[in-house]
Structure 1
Amino acid sequence: MQVSMISKALSLLSLIGQANQPLTFSELVTQSDLSKSTVHRILGILMDEEMVQCHSRMKCYLLGQRAFDILRQAYGGYDLQSLAVDGMMQLQKDTGHNTSIAVIDGDFAVVLRAFDANKSFGGYNRPGLREPLHVCAAGKALVAHMPPPLFEAKFGNYEFLRRTPQTLTTLDGFRNDLAGVRRRGYATCNREEYEYVFGIAAPIFNFVGEVIAAVNLWNTVDETDMSGLEEHAAKLTTVTQEISRLIGGGAVLRGSW
């Protein structure tokens, strides 16, 4: 079956967008397995539409202004809460635990939307709730993937107030905990926020690999323990990965720090 011109154009556009460094015409021909005439014709169309630009001095090709405009418009138009609702409701139903979605605001994780479990004492999981970043699972998930310079600037003078005997109160202890977040793919709160609450949270990434929100799964000591919550970690990360996918997002691996 002959591959359509649209498919060839999308393939070439993806090749340009995914390249670690700008590609020359010859490199595009080699890596695309398309003929020189086909690559030349497609590049002409993509440049006319401003989806691709040619750097005349370097003689290489990059994504054009219109491609970036489409990304920005799509990302800016998404209602994150609406995209997260189905996954959060299903997560609450499948696990029987409370769920919420939070974003970062200064030194706090702020709940945007929440769904309480059937067995819940109520009040805690309300929208608008603000908790310090270092005491809650959502806060840890929100900051664990920060670039190191940004993390150091934010937490160099941060006050690690003690909420419970389990609260992390030093920068080194916080760093070590966040290394576990990056390794596992989710954060934990082992009675660090309140003595009677366990929680886990996983990040949502945008299209440039930044964490823009976190989904939290939690309950009280009467209903679960840490290991019981972590049994649902795969369900939680499946939800956050799907939300990330819907907004064109994906994690950027930053290594250990």
Structure 2
Amino acid sequence: MSDRPPARARGRPRAEPASDTAGVRIKALDRGLALLERVAEEGAATLKVLAAASDMAPSTAHRVLETLRCRGLVDFDAAAQTWSIGVEAFCIGHAYARRSDYLEAGRQAMRDLTDQTGETSNIAVIERHDVVHVSQVETRAPIRAFLPPGTRGLPQASGIGKALLAHMPPERAERMLGDQPWPRFTANTITSASELHAALDGIRRRGWAVDDEERHPGMRCIAAPIFNVFEEAIAGLSVSGPTARIDDAAIEPLGDAVHAAAARVTAHIGGRRPSSG
């Protein structure tokens, strides 16, 4: 029998149980990080304001701030006598953004959505004049949508395309869509600006879009946008399937599920949904 101690979770000291975090926090560090968060929330604030907001004595708060300033995490404006967030705080936050882009976060969301709905899940973006599919999780159902990465389509005839158009500056959307009338693929394809504007208004109100057999007869797609930190719609998440399964009664529940999944991806990458939409 080996005399070696049992394996421990990586990143933890030998004596600390992997499942127990109670009592291991360093109080001084914890208070320093709380003060850093307060600086970020205030934007620019005096020592007096920050100390009061953090329930610290001004002398203690000043020592903490000076320590953070030495690490580049906060800046001090001597003329205004205010403290603000430093560039190193941005660098640390950006490291998280590199780890958690929408494709990484969206992959798990697609798996969960396919498990929940039984339909194929997709992520797509708009590139120039097209919707481009960049990731897919297929359903096991025998009849299914198949849009492999690289598949292109027109945004006005796509669930994800319309979800992104609804949150795009109008002038950019007009340049991208080009001249009317647009191609008609089925009897349901949108071919005029007035029809599209009415559809986009509805998408902004409810938070999700529908491709109702507008590109392929017998197929429907329900989509919602993913937003970045600047409240920009950078990608769309969707489920697609045959109308035999995605009937009229299924559209709204699927819309709510897709909207919730896209919102989770947005939150995971630090994004924000526009307050007006």
Q: TM-score band (shorter)?
A: 0.7 to 0.9
In the alignment, is residue 39 of structure 1 matched against residue 61 of structure 2?
yes
- Whose radius of gyration is greater, 1 or 2? 2
**Aligned length, in residue pairs:** 251
Partner residue in 1 for 2:38: 15
Q: Which amino acid aligns with 2:245?
A: E
Cα distance in structure 2, aligned partners of 1:241 and 1:140: 17
| Segment of structure 1 superposing worse, 220-229 or 62-71 | 220-229
Could you state the TM-score of these two structures normalised by the residue count of structure 1?
0.83
In the alignment, is residue 201 of structure 1 matched against residue 223 of structure 2?
yes
Could you state the TM-score of these two structures normalised by the residue count of structure 2?
0.78
Offset from partner CA, 1:115-174 (integer Å, 9 cap, x none): 22233545732221111222211112233333x4xx323425633514333333344443
Offset from partner CA, 1:148-207 (integer Å, 9 cap, x none): 4xx323425633514333333344443443333333222222222333222111222233
Cα distance in structure 2, aligned partners of 1:137 and 1:70: 36
Identity of aligned residues (%): 27
Shift of 1:80: 3.7
Instruction: State the SS of the aligned residue for 2:157.
Output: coil
Shift of 1:234: 3.0
Instruction: State the SS of the aligned residue for 1:134.
Output: helix
Partner residue in 2 for 1:119: 141
RMSD: 2.7
Offset from partner CA, 1:58-108 (integer Å, 9 cap, x none): 332222111112222332344543332222122112211121111221122
Shift of 1:50: 0.8
- Per the alignment, do residues 111 and 54 of structure 1 end up closer, same or farther by CA in structure 2, a change over 3 Å counting? same
Cα distance in structure 1, aligned partners of 2:70 and 2:143: 60
Q: Which amino acid aligns with 1:109?
A: V
Q: Which amino acid aligns with 1:113?
A: S
- Could you tell me which runs of 5 or more consecutive residues in structure 1 were left unpaired when the two chains were aligned: none
Q: Which amino acid aligns with 1:11?
A: A
Residues 179-198 of structure 1 aligned to structure 2 (within 5 Å) = 179-198=201-220
Cα distance in structure 2, aligned partners of 1:112 and 1:24: 47
Residues 123-202 of structure 1 aligned to structure 2 (within 5 Å) = 124-146=146-168, 148=169, 151-156=170-175, 158-159=177-178, 161-163=182-184, 164-202=186-224
- Could you tell me which runs of 5 or more consecutive residues in structure 2 were left unpaired when the two chains were aligned: 1-22
**1:198 touches 1:226 (CA, 8 Å); kept in 2?**
no
